[in-house]
Amino acid sequence: MRQLAWGAGIVAVLIAVNVLLRPLINPYVAQVIVLCGINVILAVSLNLVNGFTGQFSIGHAGFMALGAYGSAMFSLHVGMRWVAALEAMRVPAPLAEGAALLVALALGGLLAALAGYLVGLPSLRLRGDYLAIVTLGFGEIIRVLILNVDAVGAARGLPGIPAWVNFFWVGVGVAAVILLSRHLAASTHGRALFAIRDDEVAAEALGVDTTSYKVLAFVLGAFFAGVAGGLFAHFLSYLNPNSFTFIKSIEVIAMVVLGGMGSISGAVLAAIILTLLPEVLRPVKDYRMVIYSLMLIVLMITRPGGLLGSREISLAWLVRRLRPSRERA
């Protein structure tokens, strides 16, 4: 009951934000906000694999690409017809588009999750850096595959994807991945993932089925990466394989590590900071990326455990911080 109330509250707030904010801000700011949201989804979902389970994956851009292209192809060939049919039946446009988008995102996510399952399987045999490099290879193979399939536009890119994404849908995605992560962290399954991260052999000795939990982490992470990709596709209405190089995967890893491995709020914070940083540095033009990379190095040297370490920022934590005297008494 309480969770339902929470869910309804989040939806209500998001609708309010969507309606009130849109006329107030210019398209550039809107785009930056949406990209922040998409990066938050990517970072929090990768945190499930890298931060929770301790498996090192650098192929997140590949899953994102699958979700993006999968959902875009659905919308282009099926979704747009559905919307036209629904609108002919006098269903309001936002509702019809939302329904089609939801199906597209789910399909994109499922496609990515299936790939995550397939990549998760070899992870049973490989450890550490070898796993990392296989996921990296997988991401690159996906990109080359897209470059070679003419039906999805190959190197020309895929134009004309309906732009159905607004603040509301990005907000729903962000809320979903954060809530799922939080619930997972507090559950038996989450504890099993942490156990694998801390000591795989010990976890196995305690009866944790390490194999299926590792695959579970991969599948969940990939699903939300696919959803993020779907949102990305339906926001920009144009896809290009160059958006999904391994540099993108590395950006997401930087967010997870910078936030503090395993910290959900850290991943959110770092995703927002690393998305805003290049935008804030725009006035210095040529020096922008140089400063960005220098800051990354300096941050890692000064705070090697990430911004938050493994801590979490939450409402309760903030309240405690603000009223320390009561805590001690």
Partner 1 sequence: MPEFLQQLVNGITWGSVYALIALGYTMVYGILRLINFAHGDVYMLGAFFAFYAARITGAAVDPNPLKATGILLIAMIGCGIVGFLIERFAYKPVRRSSRLAALITAIGVSLLLENGGQLLFGADPKFFPQIIRATNIPLGMGVTISNQQIIILVVSIALMLGLRFIVMNTRAGKAMRAVSYSHTAASLMGISVDRIITFTFVLGSMLAAAAGVLVALQNPKIEPYMGIMPGLKAFVAAVLGGIGNIPGAVLGGMVMGIAEVMVVGYLSPTWRDAIAFVLLILILLVRPQGLLGQPPAEKV
Residues binding partner 1 (CB under 8 A): 56, 122, 125-127, 129-130, 132-134, 136-138, 140-141, 143-145, 147-148, 201, 246-247, 250, 253-254, 257-258, 261, 286-287, 289-290, 292-294, 296-297, 300-301, 304-305
CB of 237 to partner 1, least distance (A): 25
CB nearer to partner 1: pick between 120 and 230: 120
Ordered DSSP codes for 141-192: HHHHHHHH-GGGTGGG-EE-------HHHHHHHHHHHHHHHHHHHHSHHHHH
The minimum distance between CB 25 and partner 1, in angstroms, equals: 30
Nearer to partner 1 among residue 7 and residue 128 (C-beta):
128
**Closest CB to partner 1 among 133 and 180?**
133
At 9, list the tokens.
């509250």
- Shortest Å, Cβ 74 to partner 1: 25
Q: Given the complex with partner 1, which of 287 and 317 has the nearer CB atom?
A: 287
> By C-beta, is 171 or 259 nearer to partner 1?
259
Per the CB < 8 A criterion, the answer to whether 185 and 52 are in contact is yes
In the bound complex, what is the minimum distance in angstroms from residue 319's beta carbon to partner 1? 31
Residue 239's DSSP bridge partners are 158
Tell me the closest approach of the beta carbon of residue 125 to partner 1, in angstroms.
5
**How many Å apart are CA 218 and CA 120, to the nearest integer?**
6
Helix (H) or strand (E) holding 230: helix 210-236
Please state the φ and ψ torsions of residue 238, each to the nearest 5 degrees.
-150, 135
Q: Are 116 and 63 in contact (CB under 8 A)?
A: yes
C-alpha R_g of the chain: 20
In angstroms, give the least distance from the CB of 47 to partner 1: 12
* Residue 34 CA from chain centroid, whole number: 12
Of the two residues 101 and 271, which places its CB atom closer to partner 1 in the complex?
Answer: 271
Question: What is the distance, to the nearest Å, from the Cα of residue 111 to the centroid of all Cα atoms in its chain?
Answer: 15
Question: Could you report how far apart the first and last alpha carbons of the chain are, in Å?
Answer: 34
